[in-house]
C-alpha cells in the first residue's frame, strides 16, 4: 500500500528545514502510527517482522518533494507553500484497515534544535498498484543503502551499486524480508530455493551521505546511492522491494523507488 501525502506549511515565517531531515521525518511517521494504534506502533518500533537473524519494519518513505527551495548552509529554505512525500508499506492486507484515514489532517513537525517546520497533512492519496512483472525497472525516490560487514572490521562498508557484492546482498535482503513476512503470517515459503536474478544499473549514479541525529552523541553517517535500475527476480521480491524498500535502513527513509515504464 502506497500513499502520497501533501503537507501545507503552518507558519510562513518558519520555513528552514535541516538538509538531513530523514530521522526527524521517520520520527514524525512513528508518532502518527502511535496516535492511530499504539500496539501496532510498539510492534514496529520494538519487534517488527523477523527472520532468524534480522528484524524488518517493512515500510519506507521517499525524500520530500519541495517544488521551490533555496539552500542556506546546512538548511533548506522552503519557498513553496507546501511539500509532499510518499510513504510505502507492506503487506497490504495487514496494514490497510489501520492506515486508511489516520494521516488525514495530522500535524507534524520536522526539524532539529536549530530550526523546524510545522506542517499539516492537507491531502492523502492512495496510489495505484503497478503491474509486477519480471524484469522490472525502477528509479530511486530516496537513496538505496547496502552495506558489507567484514569479520575483522568494526564498521560496515557502504557499497557502490557497481560493486560486485551489491547485487547478491540486495537480493538476499529482499529474500530475508519476504521470509520474515511469511514467518509473521505463518505461511509456507513459496520462493524456489534457486532462482535466476539479474541487476542492471543505470548510468547516472549519485552518492548521498546523510547524517542521522546530527549534533548529538548518537550522530551517525549513512551513505546511499540514487540511481535507476532494472531487476530480474521473482515477482514476490519485486513487490516487497517496491512496497517495503530496497536495501537497508528503509524505515529511516532509504530505498524508496518508483516504477519506470
Q: Looking at residue 217, what DSSP letter applies? A: T
- Same structural domain, 116 and 144: no
Q: What is the pLDDT of residue 181?
A: 87
Question: 37 pLDDT band (50/70/90 cuts)?
Answer: low
131 in any annotated domain: no
- Same structural domain, 194 and 83: no
The domain total for the chain is 2
Q: What is the pLDDT of residue 256?
A: 98
245 in any annotated domain: yes
Q: Give the range among 148-157, 195-204, 216-225 with minimum mean pLDDT.
A: 148-157
3-class SS of residue 24: helix
Last residue of a domain, one of 103, 126, 149: 126
Last residue of a domain, one of 126, 154, 171: 126
Last residue of a domain, one of 70, 100, 126: 126
Write the pLDDT tens digit of every residue in 10-26. 888 889 999 999 999 99
Q: What is the pLDDT of residue 208?
A: 95
CATH number, residue 34: 3.30.70.1890
For residue 101, pLDDT beyond 80: no
Write the pLDDT tens digit of every residue in 87-96. 999 876 666 6
CATH number, residue 243: 3.30.70.1900
Question: 63 pLDDT band (50/70/90 cuts)?
Answer: very high
Q: 145-154 contacts: CB < 8 A, separation 24 or more?
A: 145/222, 145/223, 145/224, 145/247, 145/248, 145/249, 145/254, 145/255, 146/170, 146/173, 146/247, 146/248, 147/248
Q: What is the pLDDT of residue 252?
A: 93
Distance of CA 32 to the CA centre of its chain: 16
- Same structural domain, 119 and 157: no
- Same structural domain, 105 and 73: yes
Cα-atom radius of gyration of the chain, to the nearest Å?
A: 18
What domain range is 32 assigned to? 2-126
Amino acid at each position: 500500500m502506497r500513499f502520497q501525502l501533501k503537507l501545507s506549511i503552518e507558519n510562513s515565517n518558519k520555513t528552514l528545514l535541516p538538509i538531513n531531515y530523514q530521522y526527524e521525518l521517520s520520527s514524525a511517521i512513528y508518532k502518527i502510527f502511535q496516535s492511530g494504534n499504539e500496539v501496532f506502533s510498539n510492534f514496529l518500533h520494538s519487534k517488527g517482522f523477523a527472520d532468524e537473524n534480522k528484524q524488518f519494519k517493512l515500510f519506507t518513505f521517499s525524500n520530500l518533494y519541495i517544488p521551490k527551495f533555496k539552500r542556506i548552509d546546512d538548511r533548506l529554505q522552503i519557498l513553496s507553500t507546501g511539500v509532499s512525500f510518499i510513504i510505502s508499506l507492506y503487506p497490504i492486507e495487514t496494514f490497510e484497515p489501520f492506515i486508511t484515514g489516520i494521516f488525514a489532517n495530522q500535524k507534524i513537525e520536522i526539524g532539529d534544535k536549530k530550526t523546524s517546520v510545522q506542517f499539516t497533512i492537507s491531502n492523502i492519496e492512495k496510489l495505484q498498484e503497478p503491474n509486477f512483472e519480471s524484469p522490472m525497472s525502477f528509479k530511486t525516490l530516496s537513496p538505496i543503502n547496502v552495506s558489507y560487514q567484514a569479520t575483522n572490521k568494526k564498521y560496515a562498508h557502504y557499497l557502490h551499486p557497481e560493486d560486485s557484492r551489491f547485487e547478491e546482498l540486495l537480493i538476499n535482503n529482499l529474500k530475508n524480508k519476504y521470509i520474515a513476512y511469511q514467518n509473521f503470517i505463518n505461511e509456507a515459503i513459496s520462493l524456489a530455493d534457486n532462482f535466476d536474478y539479474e541487476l542492471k544499473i543505470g548510468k547516472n549514479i549519485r552518492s548521498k551521505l546523510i547524517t542521522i541525529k546530527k549534533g548529538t552523541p548518537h550522530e551517525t553517517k549513512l551513505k546511499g546511492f540514487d540511481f535507476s535500475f532494472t531487476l530480474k527476480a521473482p515477482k514476490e521480491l519485486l513487490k516487497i522491494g517496491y512496497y517495503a524498500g530496497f536495501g537497508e535502513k528503509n524505515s529511516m527513509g532509504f530505498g524508496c523507488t518508483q516504477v519506470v515504464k
